[in-house]
Amino acid sequence: MKKLSILLTLLASPAMAASGPFFSLQNTNFVVLIAFIAFIGILIYMKVPAKITGMLDARAAAIKAELDEARALREEAKSILATYERRQKEVQEQADRIVSAARDEAMAAAAQAKEDLKAAIARRLAAANEQIASAEANAIRQVREQAVAVAVAAAGDVLSRQMTAEAASASIDEAIAEVEARLH
């Protein structure tokens, strides 16, 4: 089917519609064909296809260079992005370590403060117990001194009532003799 349509197209061309012999300068189709072939020949003689090909090759090389530069820039951007992502990850890890260390230090400081508070309470309790014991001992000593003073005064009263002058003199002599015996 396709071959038939091409054949019909060639048969219906203007070259077939012209009257008279085809290879005559009177036939416009022939003149146009010769002019076209001369034009193509001049283009080939002037090396226009090579120049066009060169221009296209130069343009292709420029496009390739731009593509290579774009790929290089893309790779560089990827590496920079990877570097920044790695740095961001490192900074995040460092921040996490700092927060963790700060949390640990805060917990340690809280535990130390608890221990210090317990020690301070124990010291204060010990000091209070010492003060209580000292006050108790002081009170007992004062009570004893008071009891001794009362006992001495009572004994003095009893002795003064019972003692006569002769018994006092004998008692004094006896005390002097005892003191002499102990001193020598």
Q: Is residue 16 part of a domain?
A: no
CA-CA distance, 72 to 66, in Å (whole number)? 10
User: Residue 117: pLDDT above 90?
Assistant: yes
Q: Is residue 167 part of a domain?
A: yes
Q: Which residue has the higher pLDDT, 105 or 156?
A: 105
pLDDT bracket for residue 102 (50, 70, 90): very high
Q: Is residue 30 part of a domain?
A: no
CA-CA distance, 9 to 11, in Å (whole number)? 5
Q: Give the tens place of pLDDT for each residue, 6-54.
A: 655 655 555 555 566 777 778 888 899 999 999 999 999 999 999 999 9
First-to-last CA distance in the chain? 165
Q: Is residue 73 part of a domain?
A: yes
| 3-class state of residue 22 by DSSP | coil
pLDDT at 148: 82
Backbone phi and psi for residue 125, each to the nearest 5 degrees, phi listed first = -65, -45
Residue type, 80: I
3-state secondary structure 43-61: HHHCCHHHHHHHHHHHHHH
Which residues lie below 8 Å from residue 49, measured CB to CB, with a gap of 6+?
Answer: 43
- Mean pLDDT of the region 79-105: 96
CA-CA distance, 98 to 105, in Å (whole number)? 10
Count of structural domains, the chain: 1
> How many C-beta atoms lie closer than 10 Å to residue 86's C-beta?
10
- Mean pLDDT of the region 66-86: 96
Q: Is residue 42 part of a domain?
A: no
| 3-class state of residue 20 by DSSP | coil
pLDDT bracket for residue 122 (50, 70, 90): very high
29, 14 Cβ separation under 8 angstroms? yes
Among residues of the chain, what percentage have pLDDT more than 70?
Answer: 89
Put simply, whether the predicted model's pTM sits higher than 0.75 gets the answer no
- Mean pLDDT of the region 109-133: 93
pLDDT at 16: 55
Q: Is residue 88 part of a domain?
A: yes
pLDDT bracket for residue 176 (50, 70, 90): confident
Domain span including residue 58: 47-183
| CA-wise closest residue to 33 among 13, 49, 50 | 13
Strand locations in the chain, DSSP E? none
Q: What is the dihedral of CA 152, 157, 158, 164, to 10 degrees?
A: 120
Q: Is residue 177 part of a domain?
A: yes
